[in-house]
Structure 1
Amino acid sequence: MASSGAVAQKIDISDRMDPVTFEVLRNSFEYACNRMTTIMQRTSFSPILADILDFSNAIYDANVRLLAQAANCPVHLAAMQYSADAAIGRFPVDTLKPGDVIALNDPYQGGTHINDITFTMPIFYEGELLGFAVSRGHWMDLGGGAAGGMSFSTHIAAEGLRLPPIKLYENYEVNRDYLAIIMNNTRTPHYIRGDLQAHLGALKSAESEMQRAAARYGVETVKAAMNELIGYTERIVRKSIEAIPDGVYSAEDFADTDGFSPDPIKVKVTLTIAGSDITVDFAGSDPICKGSINSPFANTASAAYYSLQFFLAPHAPSNAGMFAPIKIELPDNCWLNAKWPAPTIGCTTLASSKITSAIWQALAKAIPERVTGSTCSECNWFVSTAVDKQTGRADVFSDLPAGGWGGTPFNDGMSVTMDPLGNCMNMAAETAELFFPIEYEAFELRQDSAGAGKFRGGLGAVFKVRYLCDGELNMETSRTREGSPGVNGGTRSAVQRSSHLYPDGKELVIGGFSPNGAWTSPLLSGHQFSYDEVFKFESTGGGGWGNPKDRPADKVLADFLDEYISIGTAKDTYRVVIDPKTMTVDKAATERLRGA
C-alpha cells in the first residue's frame, strides 16, 4: 500500500514581518509564476503549447515545497512536486549550480505520461539556495509506435522516449548530446528547440523575480514569508475540511475500456473525513491494466488533490499547504498506481478525469448542497499525422474537443469547457488551418447532450475536421458506454461518439455505439484518413443537479428555443409540453404530466 501525506512547516513571523510585506511577497511569488506562463505562451513553437496552453509553471522553496503556481493545468501542478523530488533525489542540492536544469518525463519517477516533460532549475541568490523554478509542458511527440505516443500497446516502451532525471543544462547551456537524442526520437523535431528555449526562458524569468525579491527584502525575510505562506494556506484548508461532516463516503466511476478488456475499468474511492484531515483511499479499484490507461502515483495523487480543492478552499493561495491535510492511500497492484512496464499514455486525460468524478460523487454524499454534477470527465485528446500530398511534408496536429460541466446548486453547468484536469484551450480553427493541411468544418453545441436536472449540465459539442491530406488518427476518449452522472436526482449526460465521414455520405462509427447498437472501443490508434474525409466527434455534456421535474417550465422552454434540448426531451425528461405551433408551454398539459 503506497501512501502520501505532507506536513507544512509552520513559523510565527509576527515579530519579523508586517502583513503588508507578507502580502507583497506573496503576490511576488504568484507574479513569478504568471510571468513564466506569459513567456511560455509567447515563445513556444508547437501549437499544443502556444495555442492549446498545455503546460504548467510553479516555484518551490529550498525544501522543495510548492510555494506558488500559475493557473495552468491542475493535473500537472501537484504531480510536478514528485518530479521535483525525483530530480533532487538524483542530483542533490549540494551538487547544483546556477543554470543547471534537470529534465525528466519518466512516469515512474514523478512523471505522468511520456509527453509531459518537466524541467527543474535551482534558484540562487549570492550563493544561497532560494528555491526552485519548475516548468512542465506537453510536447507534441516523443516517439513511440504512433503519433503522440498513442499506440495503445501493452508496454511503456511503445509510448516514446522515457527520460530519467538528466542534467539537460549546465550554466544555462544545453547538453548537445542529450538534445540530439531527444530530436532523434520525435516526429516533430521542428518544434523541439523552440519549445526547449521557451521552457528555459520561463525558468530564467522566475529566477530573476525571486532574486529581485531577495535583493529588496533580504533572503531571511523572503524565506520567512515562504514558510508563513504555506502555513497560512494549510490553516484555510483545514478550516474548510472541518466544515464537512465527519464520516466515510464512497463512490465509483469507470473507464470504458483499457483497449483490451471488454469490461469497464473501475475507480473506487473512499473519503474519510476526521476533523481537519481527509484520507483518500483507492482500495477496491481494479488492478493494473493491460492497456495504456494506467495512472502512476504522481498523477493519481495530483488528481485527488485538485478534485478536493474545488470544494475545500479554491480561494486559498495554491501551495504545499493544500496537500498537508490530505493523505492518499493506494493499493500496490492497482491501475491507479502504475509500475514499470505498465503503459500510461491515457493517465492524465482519462484516468484523472474519472478520479475527479468519483471523488465528486463521494463528496455529494457528504455535502450534497454544495457539490456539482460530474463534468464530461474526459479530455477527448486526439493526435493525428498529416502528410501533405503536394509537398510531402509530414507533421502532427492535436486538439482537445471539450464537453460540458455539471449543473451546480445555483445554476446550469458551463458548456464546452475543458475538464478540470486542465485549463487548456481548444485549437483555434485559424491556427490549425494555417499550420496543417486540414479544415475545421464544425465546432458547435450538441443538442440533448447535457444531463437533465433542476439545473442542467452544460452542453457538449459536435466537432468536425476535414483532411486535405492523408493522416493517421489516434484518440483517447471514453464516456461512450454511459454519460457523466448527475447528483441529487440529476440525470446522466449523453454518450460520446467518434465517426469517420466519407465523401459519398457514408458515416462509420469508429468509437462508441453505432445506430445498430454495436459498441466499438473509443481508444483509437493509427486509424487511416484520406483526402476529403472527415473526422467527427460528439462530446458529452455535464451531469444534471436536482430533479428535472423541478426545473421551471419557462427555463425548459428557453432551452428548447435555443436548441439546447429537443421537444421530445422537454416532454419525456422535464415533463414540459411545448406547443410546436405557438412555441409556448402548454400549461394545462404540463401540469397534468408533472402531476402524474
Structure 2
Amino acid sequence: MTTNHIPSTQLDPITFEVLRRSFEYTCERMSLVLKKASFSPIIYDMVDFSNAIFDNNVELIGQTANCPVHIAAMHFSARASLEKFPVNELGPDDVIMLNDPYNGGTHTNDVTMTMPIFYDGELLGFAVSRAHWTDVGGGFDTHVIGEGLSLSPLMVYKGGEPNTDLINIIKNNSRTPHYVEGDIQAQMGALQAAKNELTRLADKYGIDVVRQGMRETLDYTQKMTKNAISQLPDGEYEASDYIESDGFTDDPVRIKIKLTVNGDRIGVDFTGSSPATIGPINSPYANTASAVYYSLKFFLNPEAPANAGMYRQIDINIPEGTWMNPTWPSPVLGCTTASSSKVTSAIWLALAEAIPDDIVAPTCSDANWYTASVTDPETNETHVFSDLPAGGWGGTPASDGMHVTMDPLGNCQNLPAEVAEVLFPVRHNGFEMRTDSAGAGRFRGGVGVRTEIEFLGRGELIWMESSRTLEGSPGVNGGLHSAQQRQLLKKTDGSLKTIGGVAEDGTWYPQMLGGIRFQPGESFVFESTGGGGWGNPFERDPELVAKDVREDIVSKEKAAHLYGVILTEDLEVDIEATKEKRKVTSNES
C-alpha cells in the first residue's frame, strides 16, 4: 500500500530504520553489480571502487564500505557535474562522467558517473559510481595533463543511450581500451541498480516519506557525531607527518594538522603544511576533505550511519597553494594513496594528545600503489596492470595491529597471483609476511609483506608511490616506529639493487618511482612496512613476545633488543634473564 502524505513530525522508529538500512542496501546492490559486471581486475578483484546515493540537495545519504577516500569526495564530483548540467536540463537515465582533479575529481584514474533518479517526474536523488580505471593514458609527470586524459563533466549517456564518440575518445587514450567500454557499462549497471531500489522504496512508502527518511538519516548521524565530539576534551591538538620526497627533490613534504575541539564541533586546520610540489603527490581539496572525514570517522561514533550528517560538525581550513589544496596544473597522481594516508596519520597522532587511551597507532600509512607494463614475449602485446601491496595496522589500546591490511583509505585488496599470471606475462615468486616489520609496543603493530613479481617480457614500472622509507610508521604512547619500506630490482642472477629507500650501504633513493625498466626475467621486489606500536614495548607480556618469535613476526634478536625478552634455544622465555634485561635497560634509560 502506498502512503503519499508528508509526515508532520517524524517517522516512526520502524519505518525510519527500514528506510535507513534500505539506503545502505541500495549501495550494496550497486557494488555487487559493478563488481560482477566490470572488465578490469582492479575493479572486480581489487575492489577499487565506491558507490553512493545522494538526496536532491546532493547530500550523501548512503554508501558501501568500499574506498573511504572516494566517498566524501564524490559529492564534489556530483556537484561539479550538476553545475555543468543543471537538474532542470536532465532527464531519466542521463549520466554525467568526469575525472578532472580540479573540477570535483581526485586523480585521473578515478572516474565518476552521476545519474539523477526521478519518481513520477520529481527528483528523488542521485546515484553516483566511482571506479579506478586501470589506465587513462598517463604516468609519472610534473604537469597534471601528463597524468592522463582529464574529463570535465560530459554526458556519457543521454536517455540511456551511450555517447559513442566520447567513449571512443577515451578508448583511444588508454593503453587498456579493451577494459573501457565494459567498465563504463558496469558503472551504468550500478546506477540502474540504485534507480531500481529507490523506485521500489518510493512505490512502497511514497516519495515524501522516502525524502523524510533521507532527512532524518542525516539528522540522526549529525546528532550522534555531536555527542561523540562532546566526549573529547576541549582544546587544540597538533601533529605532523611527511612524505620523504615528491620524486623530483629530496626535500620532505610535510603535512601539519591542528585539531580544535570546542563543545560539539571540531576544526581541522592545515596551515603550515608544505607548498604544492613539483612531483605528483599533491592532493586536490576534494581528496583532502574526504581524508579528513574518514580519518575522524574512526573516533567519532563509527557506529553512526555513514552520511553527510557527520560533515556538518567538522570545519576544515586548507590553505590554497599548499600540497593539500594545490592549484592547476600541479600533478596529483598519488593523492588518493600517498597523500590521504598521511592525513590519517597526522590526525590520529593529534588525537593521541586528546584521547591517548583510545587512539590507534598509525598504520603503514600508504597504499603503495603501482602501475606497470609488460610486453608478452610471444605476441609482443603490451599489458598494463596495477597492484596495492598492503602493510600492517598500528597497535590499539587493547590488541595488536592487523597484519597485511589495506590502509584506512580503502577496503581494497591486492591483485591475486593466480589472476595476474592468467591475464599478464608475469610470475609471482614471493608473497610472505615480513619479520621485524611491525612497530614494537605493549601492543605491537601488524606486519608488512615482501612481494616479488617477475616480468616474463620487457617491463616498466610506470608509476609507484610509496613512503615510510626513512623511519617507518610512528608509534603512540611510547610505542616505536615500524621498519622502513623498500623497493628493489632483482636481476636474473639473483642479485638485488635498491631502487627506492635505504640501500645496504646506507644510500637513500627517493621512493617515488617512474620509468624503471626491467629485462625479461628480472623482478620487482617490494617490502612494505607494518603499523606503529602502542605503548612501551617493555610492558608487553614476554609470553606474547615469545609467541611472535615462534611465528616469525619478531626475530629473536629484536625480542631482546626492543622488548627486553631473552629466549632460550627452544624459544621459551628465560624469566630471570628477561627481568634482569628489562631492569638494566630501564635504569639506563
Q: TM-score with structure 1 length normalisation? A: 0.96
Aligned to 1:77: 71
Deviations 1:41-78 (A, max 9, x none): 10100100010010000000011000000001000000
Aligned to 2:349: 361
Aligned to 1:96: 90
Q: Secondary structure of the residue that 2:117 maps to in structure 1?
A: strand
Structure 2: distance between partners of 1:13 and 1:43: 39
How big is the shift at 1:157?
Answer: 1.0
Question: Which of the numbers 480, 497, 502 marks the counterpart of 1:491?
Answer: 480
Letter in 2 for 1:186: S
Deviations 1:173-219 (A, max 9, x none): 11111111111110000000110000000000000100110011001
How big is the shift at 1:109?
Answer: 1.2
How big is the shift at 1:582?
Answer: 2.7
TM-align CA RMSD = 1.0
How big is the shift at 1:80?
Answer: 0.3
Tell me: CA distance 1:522–1:224, structure 2 relative to 1, closer, same or farther (3 Å).
Answer: same
Aligned to 1:280: 268
Question: Which of the numbers 193, 203, 206 marks the counterpart of 1:218?
Answer: 206
How big is the shift at 1:15?
Answer: 3.7
Structure 1: distance between partners of 2:9 and 2:426: 63
Question: Which of the numbers 531, 534, 551 marks the counterpart of 1:562?
Answer: 551
Structure 2: distance between partners of 1:559 and 1:586: 15
Letter in 2 for 1:105: N
Alignment of 1:13-162 (within 5 A): 15-144=9-138, 149=139, 151=140, 153-162=141-150
Question: Which of the numbers 157, 181, 189 marks the counterpart of 1:201?
Answer: 189
Judge which range, 193-202 or 464-473, deviates more: 464-473
Judge which range, 468-477 or 365-374, deviates more: 468-477
Aligned to 1:8: none
Alignment of 1:386-401 (within 5 A): 386-401=374-389
Structure 1: distance between partners of 2:507 and 2:341: 25
Does the CA-based 8 Å contact 2:7-2:209 persist in structure 1?
no
Structure 1: distance between partners of 2:383 and 2:40: 11
Aligned to 1:346: 334
Does the CA-based 8 Å contact 1:86-1:110 persist in structure 2?
yes
Tell me: CA distance 1:462–1:14, structure 2 relative to 1, closer, same or farther (3 Å).
Answer: farther
Structure 2: distance between partners of 1:166 and 1:59: 20
Structure 1: distance between partners of 2:571 and 2:210: 64
Structure 2: distance between partners of 1:95 and 1:177: 21
Does the CA-based 8 Å contact 2:102-2:284 persist in structure 1?
yes
Structure 2: distance between partners of 1:259 and 1:578: 43
Q: Secondary structure of the residue that 1:228 maps to in structure 2?
A: helix
How big is the shift at 1:26?
Answer: 1.0
Aligned to 2:404: 416
Deviations 1:462-513 (A, max 9, x none): 1011111111112111111110000000000000000001111211000001
Does the CA-based 8 Å contact 1:13-1:228 persist in structure 2?
no
Structure 2: distance between partners of 1:398 and 1:217: 44
Letter in 1 for 2:412: C
Question: Which of the numbers 412, 430, 433 marks the counterpart of 2:418?
Answer: 430
Aligned to 2:587: none
Deviations 1:329-388 (A, max 9, x none): 011120000110000001001000011000000000000000011000000111110110
Q: Secondary structure of the residue that 1:20 maps to in structure 2?
A: helix
Deviations 1:409-430 (A, max 9, x none): 0000000000000000111111
Q: Secondary structure of the residue that 2:256 maps to in structure 1?
A: strand
How big is the shift at 1:154?
Answer: 1.3
How big is the shift at 1:40?
Answer: 0.8
Q: Secondary structure of the residue that 2:352 maps to in structure 1?
A: helix
Does the CA-based 8 Å contact 2:111-2:131 persist in structure 1?
yes
Letter in 2 for 1:37: S
Aligned to 2:301: 313
Aligned to 2:317: 329
- Establish whether residue 595 from structure 1 lines up as the match of residue 583 from structure 2: yes
Question: Which of the numbers 444, 455, 459 marks the counterpart of 1:471?
Answer: 459
Unaligned 5+ runs, structure 1: 1-11
Structure 1: distance between partners of 2:406 and 2:447: 12
Letter in 1 for 2:56: A
Letter in 1 for 2:289: A
Does the CA-based 8 Å contact 2:98-2:111 persist in structure 1?
yes
How big is the shift at 1:110?
Answer: 1.2
Judge which range, 512-521 or 16-25, deviates more: 16-25
Letter in 1 for 2:252: P
- Establish whether residue 577 from structure 1 lines up as the match of residue 566 from structure 2: yes
Q: Secondary structure of the residue that 2:238 maps to in structure 1?
A: strand
Structure 1: distance between partners of 2:258 and 2:52: 30
Structure 2: distance between partners of 1:85 and 1:257: 33
Report how many residues are paired.
Answer: 578
Q: TM-score with structure 2 length normalisation? A: 0.97
Alignment of 1:493-512 (within 5 A): 493-512=482-501
Structure 2: distance between partners of 1:390 and 1:582: 52
Structure 1: distance between partners of 2:436 and 2:9: 60
Q: Secondary structure of the residue that 1:108 maps to in structure 2?
A: coil
- Establish whether residue 302 from structure 1 lines up as the match of residue 290 from structure 2: yes
Aligned to 1:551: 540
Aligned to 2:523: 534
Structure 2: distance between partners of 1:290 and 1:582: 54
Aligned to 1:521: 510
Aligned to 1:264: 252
Structure 2: distance between partners of 1:575 and 1:142: 51
